[in-house]
Amino acid sequence: MLKKRSWAEPYKIKMVEHLTMTTRRQRERAIADAGFNTFLLRSRDVYIDLLTDSGTSAMSDMQWAALMRGDEAYAGSENFYHLEEAMRRHYGYKHLIPTHQGRGAENILSRICIKPGDYVPGNMYFTTTKLHQELAGGKFVDVIIDEAHNPDSEFPFKGNCDLKKIQRLIDDVGADKIPYLSLETNVNMAGGQPCSLANIRDTAALCHKHGINVFLDATRAIENAFFIKEREPGYADKSLADILLEICSHTDGCTMSAKKDSLVNIGGFLAINDDAIADEARNLVVVYEGLHTYGGMAGRDMEALAVGIEESVQFDHIHARIGQVEYLGHKLIEAGVPIVHPIGGHGIFINAKKFLPHIPQSQFPAQALAAALYVDGGVRGMERGAVSAGRDKETGENILPSLELVRLTIPRRVYTQAHMDVTAESVMSLWDDREKIVGLELTYEPKHLRFFQARFAPINADRVLNTDVS
């Protein structure tokens, strides 16, 4: 009888990077110095760094070799043309405008397309995307399906757009107030949850019928393609590359943070089919990023990115990448730890509301849990909840989102299965002692994207009892 075979990494390790091992004492001091914000820890104090999968992937030997082929000409670098070729082959758009990372592309797209008073629907917000839309005078409107806000729903495509919500927005404000719909694949803030191709097709058809563009946030489109291949009828025999092209074919362009899917430490791009928007973008990129043939990237970085795009669409790579995420997720599920279901593509999202029901959301349970996890095992995760959601622009009140999560994001090709075991054991030991964790209050709050630099202090147990009103 044929037994199910495990996945394994389609690579072996050629070079290692040593990690510092710290004591609990040292970590207690480090997190207090960091204002209980894992973003403010020094990386040398971190053992297993699951803060983000952004720019933290390991490049291959071929990518390192590509760095040596950097053509650092100010204009017309050969590497730009290689990158353009790779983008066209796998994403299929006409024009490439390189940017230093994803938000550079978001800035340019938002400035070109959004007028003050416009509405920009999207399938759940992403921090930098929404901020650039707002800075351009737009208002973000969430049109993701309701299942996405329910961490326990097993719906296989929780990234899908709700067509009724899009139609309602069009009816309410008029299509001329909606410059484009921002469509994210493998929705980050929902827990790395994919969209189905059927939904992408229907969403685009509805928007296009009303003359509304659809721009893809293609940051994790290939991880999304993997889930389409696994879960959507009719796609099992298609290659990831073909599915990726089909996703993009329904949209009018994309913003891309190449620091995720594309396996580089820095880089991004804007890709556009429309000639006029592309011309404007080439104009603006000079102001904010650099000339249109480098856009804030060194030639060598563009070359490594071109190679990274080719590697990123390989099935065995994504199979092992998502296999590792699922390995960690299943360990936590078996131990009864509440995490977002189904397991997403780039990380495990612990449901802090369920993990710490004794801490009200106004005391940032996910932030507190992320700090506790660092102290326990030297594992660095990050908050995705009320701190990340920020304040309502009009009322100034804290937004309390339905999802209050700690994200354990897995860098690509970096950690071993043993690192996943150690991480799971640390989470499980906190789960056993969870009532000892206390809430936090803000002691410093930056104006924009506060989660990056905010500082906190623990609220002592007595005060929680006396003043808790929520």
Ligand X SMILES: *Cc1c(COP(=O)(O)O)cnc(C)c1O
**Selection from 265, 221, 395, 408 nearest residue 328 by Cα:** 408
CB 251 within 8 A of CB 145: no
> Strand ranges (DSSP E) for 33-125?
48-49, 95-99, 119-122
Residues 55 and 383: their CA atoms lie apart, in Å, by 18
Please state at what angle helix 417-432 crosses helix 315-334, rounded to 10 degrees.
20
Strand partners, 97: 270
- Closer to ligand X at the Cβ: 26 or 265? 265
Q: Which stretch binds ligand X (CB under 6 A): 28-36, 161-169, 229-237, 256-264?
A: 256-264
Nearer of residues 342 and 345 to ligand X, judged by Cβ:
345
Q: Does 103 bind ligand X (CB under 6 A)?
A: yes
Residue of 61, 74, 94, 146 with catalytic role: 74
Least Å distance, CB 15 to ligand X, is 25
Which one is catalytic: 80, 126, 215, 415? 126
Least CB distance to ligand X at residue 396 (A) = 25
Per CB under 6 A, the segment of 15-23, 82-90, 95-103, 424-432 that binds ligand X is: 95-103
Annotated catalytic residue, options 331, 384, 412, 450: 384
Residue of 57, 101, 110, 426 interacting with ligand X (CB under 6 A): 101
Query: What type of residue is 235?
Result: Y
Nearer to ligand X, 27 or 158 (CB): 158
* Look-up of token digits 């139609």: 167
Burial of 268 per CB tally in 10 Å (0-12, 13-18, 19+): buried
Q: Which is nearer to ligand X, 84 or 217 (CB)?
A: 217
From 56, 60, 110, 219, residue interacting with ligand X (rule: CB under 6 A):
219
User: Does 128 interact with ligand X (rule: CB under 6 A)?
Assistant: yes
- Choose between 126 and 364: whose C-beta lies nearer to ligand X: 126
Tokens found for residue 232: 């959507």
Distance, C-alpha 197 to centroid of its chain? 20
Is 126 a binding residue for ligand X by CB under 6 A? The answer is yes
- Residues 67-97: b if buried by 16+ CB within 10 A, e if exposed: eeebbeeeeebebbebbbebbeebbbbebbb
Tokens found for residue 234: 């009719």
Q: For residue 139, what are the β-bridge partners?
A: 119
Contact mark string toward ligand X, 158..197, x via CB under 6 A: --------------------------x---x---------
As a whole number of angstroms, the distance between CA 42 and CA 386 comes to: 24
Q: Residue 155 catalytic?
A: no
Q: CB of 135: closest distance to ligand X in angstroms?
A: 14
Tell me, yes or no, if 215 is annotated catalytic: no
To the query of whether residue 456 is one of the catalytic residues in this protein, the response is: no
Among 98, 102, 308, 381, binds ligand X (CB under 6 A): 102
Instruction: Reply yes or no on whether 260 is catalytic.
Output: yes
Stretch that binds ligand X, among 5-13, 98-106, 403-411, 412-420 (CB under 6 A): 98-106
Give catalytic status of residue 12 as yes or no. no
Indicate whether 268 belongs to the interface with ligand X (CB under 6 A): yes
Q: Which of 253, 257, 229 is closest to 243 using CA atoms?
A: 229
Measured from the CB of residue 461, what is the shortest distance to ligand X in angstroms?
A: 36
Cβ proximity to ligand X, 54 vs 388, nearer residue: 54
Query: Using CB under 6 A, which of the segments 8-16, 123-131, 134-142, 289-297 binds ligand X?
Result: 123-131
25-64 residues near ligand X, rule: CB under 6 A: 54
297-327: burial string, b at 16+ Cβ within 10 Å, e else: bbbbbbbbbbbbbbbbbeeebbbbbbebbbb
Among 82, 132, 259, 317, binds ligand X (CB under 6 A): 259
Q: Where are the beta strands (DSSP E) in 352-431?
A: 379-380, 382-384, 405-409
* 384 carries an active-site annotation: yes
Interhelix angle 417-432/365-377, nearest 10 degrees: 120
Nearest-approach distance from CB 104 to ligand X, in angstroms:
7
Q: What dihedral angle (degrees, nearest 10) is formed by the CA atoms of 410, 348, 147, 139?
A: -50
The reply to whether 91 belongs to the active site is no
User: Catalytic residue positions?
Assistant: 74, 126-127, 217, 260, 384, 451
Summarize as ranges the residues that interact with ligand X (CB under 6 A). 54, 101-103, 126, 128-129, 184, 188, 217, 219, 257, 259-260, 268
